[in-house]
Amino acid sequence: MFHSTLKLLQKAQRGRYAVPHFNINNMEIVQGVTRAAATLRSPVILATSEGSLQYAGMNYLYSLAQTASEVTPIPIALHLDHGQNEEVVRKAILIGYSSVMIDASHEPFERNVQKTKRIVQLAHRKDIAVEAELGTIGGAEDTVRERKIQYTDPNTAQEFVERTDCDFLAVAIGTSHGAYKFAGKPSLQHNILSQIRRRVQVPLVLHGASAVPRKIVVLAEKYGASLQGVRGIPDAQIKKAIANGVTKINTDTDLRLAFDAAVRKALNNSPRDVDPRHILGPARDLIQHVAEQRIRLFGSAGKAS
């Protein structure tokens, strides 16, 4: 059985740390991030995007996550990330996810309210929590198209949460999806975040918050990747966001970079070795390493009980 996402987040809210949300696409990623969480005794949210479900199938990813939760002695929740297709959201609710995100942030305010409300009513009947988004997070990721950042308005955030009854809220405060986040320096609007925090009681979620670790980028480039212009969010900014009330932080890009760097290195160093386990095993290890760094940064280490 999966853990309740909402309970993990409410506990984090009281303890002033953030629960890691890691996007999963295959077995190596599931094992890498859950091993990291188990090593550091951290709760963890495994998340599937619509893109990952198209790639692997909901049944496969659900089963992988379920197996991880059975064999790993830490709280694990399963979450649908950026649900835009209502059929997919409904399917996730039926199959037994811990929480779903309905992302209608690209719609006008009233339509976002109505769409979110519909999903909240459906999900709450099955005791499943709902994440919604107000404002738009920048960048592109999976099935989420390229967007400009539109900061979340603190006043409308209060109205949105009251009218939709959503359980946690993704806010746009200047973060951006993907590895190419900013042309210049990243600047998160911590004043907007504090204002939202004062008006809204539900846990707040940060998307597009990967660090894009320099060491991983250098490693990938050493073995042929071309990653000019990649840029992430500095650790200090993440810490400040947690201090200002963020309790769930999504990480996908950093895992992709780790996967990419490790696979490139393995292929390059052993051109005569065609064993997939020797190619993907190092990726699983590097993902675990990167996930452990995220967990330490978020302050969720030791919070598994």
Contact footprint for Zn ion (CB under 5 A): 207
- Our CB check for Zn ion shows the closer of 38 and 202 to be 202
Q: b/e per residue, 214-249, with b = 16+ CB within 10 A? A: eebbebbeebebebeebbbbeeebbeebbebbbbbb
Provide, rounded to whole angstroms, the least separation between the CB of residue 262 and Zn ion.
24
- Our CB check for Zn ion shows the closer of 207 and 294 to be 207
Q: Which one-letter DSSP state was computed for residue 250?
A: E
Q: Please state, in angstroms and rounded to a whole number, the distance separating the CA atoms of residues 125 and 196.
A: 28
Provide, rounded to whole angstroms, the least separation between the CB of residue 137 and Zn ion.
6
- Our CB check for Zn ion shows the closer of 79 and 207 to be 207
Provide, rounded to whole angstroms, the least separation between the CB of residue 207 and Zn ion.
3
- Our CB check for Zn ion shows the closer of 61 and 304 to be 61
Q: Please state, in angstroms and rounded to a whole number, the distance separating the CA atoms of residues 217 and 225.
A: 8
- Our CB check for Zn ion shows the closer of 47 and 297 to be 47
**Selected catalytic residue, list 81, 103, 142, 254:** 81
Provide, rounded to whole angstroms, the least separation between the CB of residue 271 and Zn ion.
37
Provide, rounded to whole angstroms, the least separation between the CB of residue 170 and Zn ion.
7
Q: Write the CA distances from 221 to 48, 225, 277, integer angstroms.
A: 28, 4, 23
Strands (E) across the chain are located at 19-23, 44-49, 76-83, 99-102, 129-134, 138-141, 144-147, 168-171, 176-177, 204-206, 246-251
Q: Is 81 a catalytic residue?
A: yes
Q: b/e per residue, 129-154, with b = 16+ CB within 10 A? A: bbbbbbbbbbbebbbbeebebebbbb
Q: What is the set of active-site residues? A: 81
